[in-house]
Amino acid sequence: MLKALDTHAQLDFPQFDSDRAQLIDSLSQAGVGVINIATDVESLDRIDELTRKNPLIWGTVGLHPTEVDSQTLINLPDFLNRCKNIVENNSKIVAVGEVGLDYHHDSSTETAKIQQAALRQFLTFAQELKLPVVFHCRSAYGDLITLLGEYVELNGVIHCFGGTVSQAEALLKMGYHISFAGNITYKSSDELREVAGSVPLERLLLETDCPFLAPQSRRGTRNDPTGIFEIAETLAAVHNVEADEIVAKTLANGQKLFQINE
């Protein structure tokens, strides 16, 4: 029985090679579901296999924006055809992602132009297949909000949100969900907790972004999907509710958004 949902994890990453099977087994026994997120070309086959073998793991298809360059753009139609084939043959692929914009390390006009062109193709693809979208956004919220104004039929989640209250409000008005990761538990994250307090419970999702961003009690170590419970405690304090309510509400939100019937 599904009791909690980590909506953004990368269990296919090499950090889990030594104990992946044991970890997934323990998560399954605890009722912790996972949406494993595609990040690059190679991740598609790994995720396809993971989701087929494990009842409480679902997956996505997409490319992290930092994986996108001019050559990627040329090859993107072929990549999207491959994604479509996986979606059509695996009912546990539940979203397009992670896709988006990332200007953190390269804010050049050329990079922005290429990433936006790729994102538009992914969003058109998501519309055609009627799938939600998992967005990555870093140092690019203004452009993302502007671009999403062109795609009013889409829904999805802004993962590991790092924007402002006003940016969160703009995305919420468009109908998007917002997800917070382990960095919300850090002592220096007062502003992020303020943003989280402005997000209605009906639009919240939990995620770990594991193996990265371990919560405060485990900071600096490999993260895993059990980290969502510490994140839930922080969000519960922000919203003045019990942690169990956060876990249950985010599970219901995730099941609805990603059409998970488990």
**Is 245 within 8 Å of 232 (Cβ atoms)?**
no
Cα dist. 129→50, 53, 256, 258 in Å? 22, 24, 17, 13
Taking phi over 0 as left and psi of -120 to 50 as alpha, with beta for the rest, 130 belongs to left
Strand pairing partners for 134? 97, 157
Known binding site: residues?
A: 8, 98, 136, 159, 209
Kindly list the domain boundaries of the chain, sorted by start residue: 4-258
How large a percentage of the chain has pLDDT more than 70? Answer: 100
Give the model confidence (pLDDT) of 29-58 as tens digits. Answer: 999 999 999 999 999 999 999 999 999 999
- Give me the pLDDT at residue 28, please: 96
CA atoms lying within 13 Å on the CB side of residue 2: 23
**Is 5 within 8 Å of 255 (Cβ atoms)?**
yes
Q: Which fold has domain 4-258?
A: TIM Barrel (3.20.20)
The residue-averaged pLDDT of 100-104 equals 97
Taking phi over 0 as left and psi of -120 to 50 as alpha, with beta for the rest, 23 belongs to alpha
Known binding site for a divalent metal cation: residues?
A: 8, 98, 136, 159, 209
For residue 262, pLDDT over 80 is answered with: no
> Which of 52, 177, 71 minimizes the C-alpha distance to 118?
71
For residue 261, pLDDT over 90 is answered with: no
How large a percentage of the chain has pLDDT more than 90? Answer: 98
